[in-house]
Structure 1
Amino acid sequence: MSLFRNRQDAGRQLAKALSVYKSRHPVVLALPRGGVPVAAEVASSLGAPIDLVLVRKIGLPTQPELAMGAVVDGGAPIVVRNNDVIFAAGVAADEFDAVCDMELAEIERRRQRYIGDRPRVEIAGKVAIVIDDGIATGATMKGALRAIRKRGPEELVLAVPVAPVETIEDLRGEVDALICLETPAIFGAIGYFYDDFRQVSDNEVIAILRRLPPKRSSPAA
């Protein structure tokens, strides 16, 4: 049985759970593409500015779905290495760098496509709420959280609709607060918990960002 009608429904439910942060003037950070419609509902409800966290998994050359690290956009890109996986798979430094460079190129494509000359949201000294439409293994999210932490938020909050219990426990030490609406005993995949989990397009991401400018507005009633 699904838990959410779609990402907008998940975002509205998440916004209720995050309402305590409304008075603290948070910033909302979304992982594209699936996290953007969820985060948009939260940003609208809290009257918060929204920005993107451009992060890409660095997958094994022979098993791309298995993360040997993650890379996050920024003034100087931040690379998080999963040394256990790298060592176990015998991945050489030049192999890791080649995959990392490929993912950096995709990050740059997304930055130009989604953000362009849009002002970036200031994170230092703010409550930063990081949102995705769900988490499976957490490897990519861990990279994103570590990169955001280096930007000096007052408080780092992770908020997602659904994730496995073990992933949530693994990520709890990366943040100051964690909100996950559902932690099913049998997980499978994120899409199992949505009636509508169609892929979010680049154009949808761009349209949402245009609708929600990077400044605080009056919170929705």
Structure 2
Amino acid sequence: MPLPPCFADRREAGIFLGRHLAGLGFGAAAQCEPPLVLALPRGGVPVAFEVALILEGRLDILLVRKIGAPGYPELALGAVVEGDAAGNAPYTVANDDRWTRRALDSGTFDAERGRQLDEIARRQQRYRGGASVPALAGHTVIVVDDGVATGATMRAALEGVRRAGAKQVVAAVPVASEEGLDSLRAAADQVVCLNVPASFGAVSAFYLDFRQTTDEEVMALLRQCACGRPA
């Protein structure tokens, strides 16, 4: 099936992405075990839901929070990724720039990291009843989002997954900027993207329906996928 110039919505994008990943041999039958498909919430969840169904994989979310500069939350200093059920601690990425070094020296980086860890705990409670993401060691882990612009959040997620001991780390998105995609290659064993347009702009430009995904939709999709999949 040819790729459309714009996806109807995130779930259609997930169908295209899942079929492509299956063709690359990431399905449960080819892997001899169900892959673990981790979505970056909230927008990555509808995409990952369809990917997990097609690959006969296990669906979960991976909670990653940006660490912003005090008073300038849009200025990212780094990110923190939740720990897993095997006891791996949350993984923190700090940018190498003067703003981040200043925040580290003053203690404001650690303070903001603490606030974001509190938010991760809140979302763990809401999405998983307080549980951490499943143990990642020894598994093929496919990290999915609805698109990549700068790649900073996805890169932190991939680094966290690798640090937790995943056997194979795969980044999978329907659309990405060339620069954002290049930034992921060192953090993943394989990077899969359906569309890398010469003129990117924003992820939303490649979806006809890019409405915000709600918490209720996230939880419904997680429950629906869990009903027919092995634990």
Flag whether TM exceeds 0.5 (same fold). Answer: yes
| Gaps in structure 1 of 5+ consecutive residues | none
2:139 paired residue among 126, 130, 146 = 126
Shift of 1:123: 2.1
TM-score w.r.t. structure 1 length? 0.91
Aligned to 2:93: 80
Query: What's the CA shift for 1:185?
Result: 1.8
Partner of 2:37: 28
| Matches of 1:58 and 1:43, distance apart in 2 | 29
Structure 1 segment 29-108 matched on structure 2, within 5 A: 29-74=38-83, 75=87, 76-84=89-97, 86-87=99-100, 90-91=102-103, 92-108=105-121
Matched, 1:17 2:20: yes
Q: Say if 2:62 and 2:133, in contact at 8 Å, map to a contact too.
A: no
Tell me: CA distance 1:4–1:58, structure 2 relative to 1, closer, same or farther (3 Å). same
Which residue type is aligned with residue 17 of structure 2?
A: L
Q: Which has the higher contact order (CA 8 A, sep 6+)?
A: 1
1:187 paired with 2:190, answer: no
Question: Which secondary structure state, in structure 1, belongs to the residue aligned with residue 170 of structure 2?
Answer: strand
Deviations 1:180-201 (A, max 9, x none): 1111222221111110000011
Of 218, 222, 229, 1:205 maps to: 218
Determine helix, strand or coil for the equivalent of 1:199.
Answer: coil
1:160 equivalent to 2:165? Answer no
Q: Decide whether the 8 Å contact of 1:49 with 1:121 is kept in 2.
A: no
The share of aligned pairs that are identical, in percent, is 49
Instruction: State whether residues 55 and 73 of structure 1, in contact with CA within 8 Å, keep that contact through their aligned partners in structure 2.
Output: yes
Q: Partner of 1:3 in structure 2? A: 6
Deviates more, 1:207-216 or 1:23-32: 207-216
Instruction: Please tell me the residue identity of whatever aligns with 2:26.
Output: Y
Given that residues 81 and 156 in structure 2 are in contact (C-alpha distance below 8 angstroms), is that contact kept between their aligned partners in structure 1? Answer: yes
* Range 113-122 or range 172-181, more displaced: 113-122
For these two proteins, the number of residue pairs brought into alignment is 216
